[in-house]
Chains A and B, each alone.
Chain A
Amino acid sequence: MSRALAILAIAILSGSLFAQVSPMAPEAAQVPIIEGPRIELTNEHLTIITWTTKNPGGSPVHYGVVHYGTDPNSLIETAKSPIRLNPDHSLTVFRVRLDDLRSQTAYYYTVDSMQATGKSDGVKSSVNRFTTP
């Protein structure tokens, strides 16, 4: 018992038990959207778009990505927001902030997500529309 404690103490003192990075879930072959995308909130200064996918796996931090614009054929703006992935969870909620959009304006958007390394999750999204207040 004392030997086990000593080994544990040495390991703790060396920091080796804790010198680790966040656990990673295996990358999913496909990342379908389960719910959304939808407008979580929109006001004169902030719009949040949210959607839920199957857990994409991979890096612990993912980015939700929104391509948007006022022309549905030219979504030239991009917004992205990081979220922390839960490796043991089957679903992942993405939420993306769009700051300071023009008021009373129709916007079109699609969504995607990617790992912190920049690798896309390959999410397929149709073009959606919303109007700011």
Chain B
Amino acid sequence: MRQARLAALGATCATIAVAMFISAHIVRGQSQSTARSAPAYNPYPTGILPSDLSSEVTRVQREVDLVESRARARWKGLGRPTLIGQPPVLQNAGTEAIETLGELMLYDRNMSPRKNQACASCHMPYAGFSGPIPSVNLTMIAFPGTVHFRAGKRTAQRHPYSPFFPVLQYNQEQGLFFGGNFWDSRATGYRLRIPDAEQAQGPPVDPLEMGFPDTACVAFRLSQAVYRPLFEMVWGEGSFDIKFPPQTARICATPGGASVFGGNTTPVPLGAADRTHANTVYDRWAQSIDSYEQSVQVSAFSSKFDAFLAGKYTLTADEMAGFKLFNGKGNCNSCHLDGRGTTLKSDQADTSSAALVNPLFTCFGSANEGVPLNPGDVFYYQTKPDPYGFIANPYGFGYRDLGLGTFLRSGFGSAPNPNASWRQYAPRVDGQMQVSSVRDVALTPTQCPTTEAPGPYFQKGFFHNGYFKSLKQVVHFYNTRDKYSYPVTSGHCPKGTTEKLDCWPMPEVRNNIDMTSGNLGLTDEEENQIVVFLQTLSDGFTKPYPNRDAYKGACMSGGSAATQGNEFLISTPPLPPCASAICGVAPVPSPPIP
């Protein structure tokens, strides 16, 4: 009993201490407004965080600011469009106005409690709007958020062409899910009818990312933004007629998930009308960013392959061979639809008609390719409370990423499923991740022309958990996953084998593994030709890709694409059973996941 009292007293003191700490911290944060004052959070074993993390985060901040300044110049060049007609339209410059507004938002570091994290901090143009820090892609794979160093669980998914994904639907006739955004499709588009827009509403209030404690904080910070006049020009005067209480600045400077909020997800005390108004601003935020991502600034259709489709470029022998393998022996276009039929054998002719539009290289569906668990994923180690009392992953290595399956169950680490009728299908989609467009998968900074060693190359991380470090490895996995499968976890391949070369560890989730691939019979040269073809899908060939020159970091060089990054492999610890909060949620996975 006495021990219980002491424990309770200790817990109370700890809460008070944290609250006092946060209050003091907020005062400092208001005066400095940078991440420098943020308390360190480092529950990680040696080797998880890259040694250059802090300097690389600072480098990206400078680049984000550079692109933001370019967007500001674009805004200033807009002039003042005239609002005319019924319904009213910003004649001539309305499209560019909303796209520029979205661009200004995407690169605005003020959209985080510490004013240190923009959307673009994890999605820079020179990486095809995926992760901009090579050493992060090589090691921890998820990018640090506003609190250094909380981080998410997956790689930063590419933006280009994501606006073209339809609203998530379950097609009764085909028995399949289509659409949505995010790896697990949790941005369904059910309300705004644009999954990409609803995707843009996730990271600002994800405690592991930009980390606001309340969506109203976005409206609050936008009301203070230098580009507020542009917002009001696009969305109307009076958009920010919201009575924010005096404590709003303090609340919005505190990261989400902090224990001081007691689980309250709307800590900014707004009246009903003001809350509705703030919600509307948040929807406008989402729609503006979607406009930018759908524009030619991001989804440019300016690749070699687009020029080829237009009859303005002749593919080289290797590129053409890779294209034929992509929709032939490699069978890649069974999911990454390229507008062509599939010719699996050399004596078969492709009789499909030419694509009516530029193909998007996705089926908008999801698949489980049987990717091994990546023990480098920083998420597994965030089992202790950070200085704000927040624990990202109480299950440690008991966490399993079931992707779409967990979302349908409204499960841990995902989002509420808005459609109860979908939940029954969860066991059929466990382990499935979105089939991303392969457009821009190979896009890199101007000065580092490839993703592949020996380079000079820009290090990326591929698939949802970044297990693969080169496109060669990705293609080799599709080709040999089953041929070289071993019942081991990453870091434990048998003596005499080399991981990713002739040893593939067991899948993280072995339910619903897609068997279209896994033993394709491609030669080494054919794998390389598919990689060469993938490189024709990078935007920036027919015209420069905007802001591809923003990268100020270094290129990497040396080694082989087949074993790229293997020097950073770490041993997976003995895995505990999948946590019941993940694998024990009805309808439970079938067969059970160990």
Contacts and interface: CB of A to CB of B under 8 A. Distances in A.
Interface of A: 8, 12-13, 15, 17-22, 24, 40-41, 44-46, 48, 59-61, 64, 81-91, 94-97, 99, 115-118
B334 interface: yes
A52 B482 CA distance: 18
Contact of A22 (B343, B365, B483, B514): B365
Nearest to A22: B363
A116 B167 CA distance: 20
Given A18-B166, A60-B176, A86-B341, A44 B514 contact: no
A97 B342 contact: no
A83 B351 contact: no
Contacts of A95: 482, 515, 518-519
Contact of B166 (A20, A83, A116): A20
B393 to A, nearest CB: 27
Contacts of B46: none
B482 A116 contact: no
B174 A40 contact: no
A115 B344 contact: no
A61 B176 contact: yes
A64 B175 contact: no
Given A46-B485, A88-B342, A97 B174 contact: no
Contacts of A48: 482, 515, 518-519
Chain B contact surface mostly: loop
In the complex, which of the residues B167, B356, B514 has the most CB atoms of chain A within 10 Å of its own CB atom?
B514
Given A87-B341, A117-B175, 5 more contacts: A18-B357, A21-B174, A61-B174, A83-B514, A86-B341
A85 B331 CA distance: 10
A57 B363 CA distance: 17
Contacts of A13: 294
Given A61-B174, A84-B335, A96-B515, A46 B342 contact: no
B178 interface: yes
Contacts of B513: 81-82, 97
Contacts of B163: 15
B194 to A, nearest CB: 7
26 contacts: A13-B294, A15-B166, A17-B356, A18-B166, A20-B166, A21-B171, A21-B178, A21-B364, A22-B174, A22-B337, A22-B363, A24-B173, A41-B482, A45-B487, A45-B506, A46-B487, A48-B518, A81-B515, A82-B513, A84-B514, A88-B341, A89-B344, A89-B348, A95-B482, A97-B482, A97-B515
Contacts of B352: 88
A89 B352 CA distance: 11
B547 interface: no
A86 B331 CA distance: 9
Contacts of B23: none
Interface string B311-344: 0000000000000000000010011010001111
A83 B512 CA distance: 10
Contact of B516 (A24, A40, A83, A115): A83
Nearest to B591: A99
Nearest to A115: B175
A127 B350 CA distance: 36
A97 B510 contact: yes
B238 to A, nearest CB: 27
Contacts of A87: 341
Given A61-B174, A86-B341, A116-B174, A18 B515 contact: no
A85 B176 CA distance: 13
B487 A82 contact: no
A17 B357 contact: yes
A61 to B, nearest CB: 6
B164 interface: yes
Contact of B357 (A12, A81, A82, A97): A12
Interface in B341-373: 341-344, 348, 350-352, 356-357, 360, 363-365, 367
A116 to B, nearest CB: 3
A71 B360 CA distance: 49
Contacts of B167: 19
Contacts of B356: 17
Given A60-B363, A81-B515, A118 B510 contact: no
A45 B507 CA distance: 12
A26 B163 CA distance: 30
A25 B311 CA distance: 29
A85 B514 CA distance: 11
